[in-house]
Amino acid sequence: MPDATPPPKIKLVYILGSSRSGSTALDTVLGGSTGALSTGELGHLHWALQEGDIPEYATSSIAYCSCGARVEQCPLWSKVVSAWGQQQDLRAVGREADRFETPLTSLPTLLLGRLFRTRAFREHLEFLGWSARSVAEIGGATTVVDSTKVAGRGWCYSLLPSSEFDVRFVHVVRDGPSVVSSMISHYKPHKHDSGPSPWPRLAATAFSTAHWVYMNLASSCLGAFNRRRYLRVRFEDLLDDPDGTLEKLGRFLDLDVREVRGRVRSGEPMPAGHLLCGNRTKGSALRLVRAPAPSEAGLPLGSSLVFLWLAGWLQWAYARPWPRAGPA
């Protein structure tokens, strides 16, 4: 008789939160655990393969793996892409991912798909499960870490069959003004533009603050429906007390983090591996260093007031001290 042994259960760790919140660093750290594989923003793999659709300024972030090779030439991702290409039209995969996972616009489609279990929704869930398993098998891992962060993708992961996947959610929250300051400095002026940015500072602050609020609230809502498999951690705690934070993460995720904790204690760098997208520091080895004082985050007074008006309540809810205004 044919062997009816079911495939081994895959542990899927999905990192939630806002951009510029340390998700790439957390992904790298967790990927250093025994049996774990860091993938970076796995939900954006299809974009890396669509030449001509990537803005020039974002090519280095999207089209290249952290190992330095283009995604289609990477020792890991070239095999994944080959396996995916045999099963799916990757452009069609991208369209379905945008329908069900993109912030804001995906919400109605996601709700309708979950309520009525449409064919497109079922096929999308099947592909998510199959892709996670293929990445684990090709990477020789039992745990896959995905830091795409979008809550819509998390909702889809939460519906994967528990008999095949052990899905856990880690919501990383970074101090709001620090995120806003980082977003403004990173995206303004845009690298592909010349001259001053067209965005006034206060408008950029408002947009970045709205992004921080929305992404974190969406992540918290997902956690409210998945309390037993959701953990929120502060990025500042990971930097200030990495040993204690990693111990807590290891217990929650049931991961062996002893090797990672040993590297952190000794100051040994952790290789970035094969991460997709994410922070551009991913191309080098990672060291966890102590977080700067909140006053060093550096939002000018006007920007601080905009943040306080729009998001002070959430900053308080996440129990971070209010940073003093930085230099103008």
Q: At 85, which CATH number?
A: 3.40.50
The pLDDT value recorded for residue 214 is 92
Q: Report if residue 281 sits inside a domain.
A: yes
Range 9-27 average pLDDT = 94
The pLDDT value recorded for residue 270 is 80
The pLDDT value recorded for residue 21 is 93
Q: Report if residue 204 sits inside a domain.
A: no
CA angle 305/310/316 to nearest 5° reads: 85
Range 248-266 average pLDDT = 91
Domain that holds residue 88: 10-175+227-289
pLDDT tens figures, 104-114: 655 555 566 56
The pLDDT value recorded for residue 26 is 93
User: Of 27-31, 33-37, 112-116, 178-182, which range is least confident?
Assistant: 112-116
Structure tokens at 210: 């709205």
DSSP codes, 37-95: EE-BSGGGHHHHT-TTSS-GGGHHHHTB-TTSSBGGGSTTHHHHHHHHHHH--HHHHHH
289 vs 42, more confident = 42
- pLDDT of 251 > 80? The answer is yes
Residues 160, 195: Cα–Cα separation, whole Å: 48
56 vs 228, more confident = 228
- pLDDT of 10 > 90? The answer is yes
Q: Report if residue 188 sits inside a domain.
A: no
Q: Report if residue 72 sits inside a domain.
A: yes
pLDDT tens figures, 72-95: 889 999 898 888 766 566 666 666
Q: Report if residue 70 sits inside a domain.
A: yes
- pLDDT of 1 > 70? The answer is no
Residue 163 backbone phi and psi in degrees, to 5:
-70, -20
Long-range contacts of 80-86 (CB under 8 A, 24+ apart): 80/45, 80/134, 80/135, 80/138, 81/45, 81/49, 83/134, 83/138, 84/131, 84/134
Average pLDDT of the chain is: 80
Provide the number of structural domains found in the chain: 1
Q: Report if residue 148 sits inside a domain.
A: yes
pTM of the model: 0.86
Q: Report if residue 318 sits inside a domain.
A: no
Structure tokens at 195: 């001259």
The pLDDT value recorded for residue 269 is 81
Structure tokens at 55: 């803005």
Residues 282, 274: Cα–Cα separation, whole Å: 9
Range 97-106 average pLDDT = 66
Contact 64, 54 (CB under 8 A): no
pLDDT tens figures, 175-231: 999 999 888 877 654 444 444 444 577 888 999 999 999 999 999 988 999 999 999
CA-derived radius of gyration, the chain: 20
pLDDT tens figures, 123-148: 888 888 988 999 999 999 999 999 99
Say what percent of the chain tops pLDDT 70: 72
Range 13-31 average pLDDT = 93
- pLDDT of 312 > 60? The answer is yes
The pLDDT value recorded for residue 273 is 82
Residues 75, 77: Cα–Cα separation, whole Å: 6
Q: Report if residue 325 sits inside a domain.
A: no
Residues 7, 157: Cα–Cα separation, whole Å: 18
The pLDDT value recorded for residue 185 is 79
- pLDDT of 266 > 90? The answer is no
Say what percent of the chain tops pLDDT 90: 39
